[in-house]
Amino acid sequence: MLGLSANLNYYLFNGNVDLRKGIFRLCESIREEMSLDPSDASNVYMFMSRNRKVVKILHYERGFYVLYEKRPVMGRFRNLCLMKSPNATGYNGRTWPILRKV
């Protein structure tokens, strides 16, 4: 079962990231580029491929990192570029109805 809800803070990575990276390399990107702590269980980090065909979602819960990957069968994801800062945008629970459609 997915452990994501409206009570969490959502961050969409704004920049190029190689989505072939695994959990620990994505954690490194979060620390270096976003200056955030990937082991903060109240945060969820989203990475979208440049062509918007893949979304990876990283979350820390109960001592484990969880990496979700979503790919549409046809088409692409909508562009979620609602960025306010150069490297990351934070989303709060009010945007959960929009983000859960991803």
32-51 pLDDT, tens per residue?
888 899 999 999 998 888 88
Residue 18 CA from chain centroid, whole number: 13
Q: Rounded to 5 degrees, what are φ and ψ at 24?
A: -70, -30
71-90 pLDDT, tens per residue?
888 888 876 654 444 445 55
pTM > 0.85: yes or no: no
Give me 46's structure tokens: 């989203």
Write down the H helix ranges in the chain.
23-29, 96-99
Give me 80's structure tokens: 């979620």
Give dist(CA 80, CA 77) in Å, integer: 8
Domain boundaries in the chain? 9-93
Q: For residues 36 and 44, is the Cβ–Cβ distance under 8 A?
A: no
